[in-house]
A and B are shown apart, each in its own frame.
Chain A
């Protein structure tokens, strides 16, 4: 190991560990906010109910949708079920009211260990529930476990997680067909504004008879935080780590790819050559070079054997491997390529339940992003459905409108302030930050930062006042307009006064995740 290696290997861990710890501590005193990171696959699910974890992108399936993105500021709550594994006694849920069911501990079946909870219906028609928890207002909940339906049991009906309070949420956890095997279930629900009753059972008025089903390893936990979700399937962003725009890169074949007006890096190996036509021109042998493209289709005509071919915008990441192997659009290397959520600029967005910022007049929001279009305004994140008109709200936009801009919007008690950095034509990656304080002197209430450096203050007066209680909308204004066309690597939001030194650390942390500058 040489001297440089020793320095690199000895310094890197000591630099990264404190930074991650500092970020984890940003909200330790109860500060409101959010922490979303696309690099943490454990925080993302394909559906809004959190039943299907995302799979790794590039693994042979289409890049997965993200229907639930967990806010990872706060740890999961403590276990609320006693004896959920049934090994010491029958499972006891916080509420534990059974309706038309009887519950016993049994060794008939067990998902693990020797015992499970046996739920047996009494005869007659009507719904059949086990009430698990009266979920308090404004609490999110995660319920997991295993269920077993013997063939012929439960009148052939599915077993469901039910919101008995209004019946609005019904998730099949064990379809009727899934008999004679243990089926795992996992269900997340965002906070409701009122208390509601979480139940498991059969809400169809079909006689369940005297047959039984079995539940094991039941777990109920509060899942604190401002988790972002999307119920509409087609409006979910996708998780990706694709950078190389070519396919079949180990042995390149002639192909055309869409490109935009910017400089690209074309890297190839092997004895053959590539001739470019359409959006750029030239003939190249093995090596790496910059190619300036115009918007349109770029055709790469291959002569001979060209291997390890890579084409990506020259400004797409710093210090990434120069070659990303891409077998096909669904199969590609991801190691050392920062993952991101891709918002399509059409209808992709996420939202949270209302977030209570009413106790503060200060906050900052920082996002690691890449905007891919300058044709129309795009909302990266917005507190409330429209920050222009809702008092006590803010937004980060990329761009602010047609053009090469970003924007920090903040509205206090009476008026909107705007800080609009320009000079960043798409595609452009930035760690983009808005720092807001409605009680500061006019001219210093809102400011923007780019890549860890101050950019500009907004000159207007917001009218003071605290921030409000609104949902976050990520990727689209109020879920209806101004769709963001680009990538979001990570997003941090924190209430209260934050020193610039700490904001800089947050920006450095995001840059570690996205490799932007």
Chain B
């Protein structure tokens, strides 16, 4: 009787010794898929200033232990992280409705730790922080001191920007997150040259829609850099013709932007790009 158990124990222990290296290989693949890879794409990203709000990501185990209930932790750690992240995101939505920004930030942090490769959580989390929380503080008349309102509003923009920056580093292939960073610089910080840099990076992604390349030049114009914008739109137009672009709206808007640049640069009609 003992012999059968002995054989079974030997097989299991033998497999246990072999499987560790096999598990390590698979784990490396899984981690790559779950947490992204250190890609060359990150090297080319525009830098953002380091702030005191830049969070150091904690381990999932710690974040879950500290911030979510027991039942959700079991769901998350029991192999259903995606589902748990969805339910955590419902808390983010509730916190937004309640205007409880600190809870919103905490819950968004858990959602992105559960599924760091889901662009949706980074994009919308940053939007809640840099737009909703920040605008709330700009207009919060419960705070009588306008300087304090401004400081708090700016702080939330920085929190949103740092959050989005972490998302971009984990998902450097995503044009959406790069576009959102550009939007944040343009619409929340009025730093149009920075917006141009982020949009230019987004336009390099193969799945980026056409409007991204147009807006890249648009931000140059907003930054007052008409020379650069003019060259950019001419190149974009030539590229569209070379690739036989059929989208008439895209071609028309490039043409309009070139005309606008020529007007701003006082280029006489005889020297216009269209005359040439």
- The judgment on whether A and B are partners is no
Residues of chain B touching chain A, judged by Cβ–Cβ distance below 8 Å, are: none
